[in-house]
Amino acid sequence: MALALRKAVLRQHLHPTSWARFLFGPASRGDTSAPVVHKHDDFEYASEAELAGFVVETDAEGHHYAVRKEDLPKEAV
């Protein structure tokens, strides 16, 4: 079955977008005027909590780097 399907497809000269449609199906188009809703999962909440312990510092040459808040002097926090 797969071989017959492959031969049938290879006989046709499809445009690259037609190949994508053949492999993945037609594009689903939702309501384009609706706002995008991003829902956080447990992994994102955990990484936000972990990143909250860092501060972004900039040196004299303009390079940015992260420093743990506990490693900063008390007056810098």
User: What average pLDDT score do residues 36-58 get?
Assistant: 90
> Does the structure show a pLDDT above 60 at 77?
no
Structure confidence at residue 35 (pLDDT):
87
Q: What is the mean pLDDT of the chain?
A: 81
Which residues does 27 contact at the CB level (< 8 Å), separation at least 6? 21
User: What average pLDDT score do residues 61-73 get?
Assistant: 89
> Does the structure show a pLDDT above 70 at 42?
yes
67 three-state secondary structure: strand
